[in-house]
Amino acid sequence: MAEVNTRGASIDMSGKVALVTGAASGIGKASALMFAQAGAQVLACDRNPEVSALAQEGRIEAFQMDAGAEADVIAALDRAEEVFGGIDVIFANAGITGGVRDASDHTPEIWAEVLRVNLIGPALLIQHGGPRIAARGGGAIIATASVAGMRANAGPVAYSASKAGVINLVQNAAYAMAGTGVRVNAICPGLVETEMTRPIYDYARATGAEGMLGARTPIQRGADPSEIASVALFLASPMASFVTGQAVPACGGLSASHPFGPRPDPAEAAKVIAEYRAKVGSGG
């Protein structure tokens, strides 16, 4: 198994049980390992059987399931209770892009599948998992949204709409669970290097444009999955006891700025402006 940077997690989650979906890869895998390092017992769920590689005796149990199917969601919650005696934290993280690019590529079937996995899946985990967490005295649910759900131009349209739905879902769920001790939040990652973004990274590396990947972010790079997992761990923990109903961006600052294009060298720009004004006779 590839090494995951667990960032020296110092939040104490001992005695807590967490269910993480999309745990075979990327953000979910880093989170399952980081939650376990912080002391939690983790049910690592994925439709990909490779999730079994995460299993650690008494610490991480792997569970193969479809995060968009109600029966599988209930089976996963049952399994966490059976193996670890309860459930305190849910990280509804599994997601897909739908493999499309332009609005014209989208079929109704692709729309349905993207919404099923990305939006209905987290909704089912909240619906069936929330009351179980509440019965234990409270805890946290986190869902992975995206900066693509905040505004346009960061992903395919069905994907982006599904993530906008996740942001609204956690806002509504936080109210629905008011007074139960269950907090519900979303994380909005920017660009993160995972299997989902592998083609973007491979293309950039192949064309020598890797430096451009973070060009529109103040932090000037994409994220390592552990940098999203650490936000999930914080939101899962009592350290975030006053945070609910929020969509927390972890995007290197991408969502904080308006888009900008390449800016000319100031001296070159001054020359071009002077020439233009001379030509149109404005005198400058």
Ligand X SMILES: NC(=O)c1ccc[n+]([C@@H]2O[C@H](COP(=O)([O-])OP(=O)(O)OC[C@H]3O[C@@H](n4cnc5c(N)ncnc54)[C@H](O)[C@@H]3O)[C@@H](O)[C@H]2O)c1
**Dihedral over alpha carbons 133, 139, 144, 148 (to 10 degrees):** 120
The verdict on whether 276 is a catalytic residue reads: no
Tokens of 246: 């929020």
User: Would you say 13 or 191 has its CB closer to ligand X?
Assistant: 191
User: Would you say 25 or 244 has its CB closer to ligand X?
Assistant: 25
Quote the CA–CA distance of 85 and 96 in Å, as a whole number: 31
- Size (the chain), residues: 284
Residue ranges in 181-258 assigned as alpha helix (H): 198-206, 226-236
Binding footprint of ligand X on the chain (CB under 6 A): 21-22, 24-28, 46-48, 66-68, 93-96, 117, 144, 146, 189, 191-192, 194-197
Residue 185: CB minimum distance to ligand X, A:
14
User: Would you say 11 or 27 has its CB closer to ligand X?
Assistant: 27
Residue 284: CB minimum distance to ligand X, A:
46
Where residue 214 falls (left for φ over 0; alpha for ψ -120 to 50; beta otherwise) is alpha
Residue 82: CB minimum distance to ligand X, A:
19
Residue 145: CB minimum distance to ligand X, A:
7
| E strand intervals along 68-213 | 89-92, 139-144, 182-189
Residue 245: CB minimum distance to ligand X, A:
19
Hey, which residues does 249 pair with through a beta bridge?
Answer: 188
User: Would you say 69 or 85 has its CB closer to ligand X?
Assistant: 69
Residue 103: CB minimum distance to ligand X, A:
18
Please give the angle made by the CA atoms of 97, 47 and 39, to the nearest 5 degrees.
105
Burial class (CB in 10 A: 0-12, 13-18, 19+), 168: middle
User: Would you say 195 or 202 has its CB closer to ligand X?
Assistant: 195
Quote the CA–CA distance of 167 and 245 in Å, as a whole number: 8
User: Would you say 95 or 129 has its CB closer to ligand X?
Assistant: 95
Asked if 54 and 60 touch (Cβ cutoff 8 Å), the reply is yes
Quote the CA–CA distance of 42 and 55 in Å, as a whole number: 9
Q: In the 8-state DSSP scheme, what is residue 56?
A: B
Work out the end-to-end distance of the chain between its first and last CA atoms, rounded to an integer number of angstroms. 64
Please give the angle made by the CA atoms of 39, 49 and 86, to the nearest 5 degrees.
35
Name the residues annotated as catalytic.
159
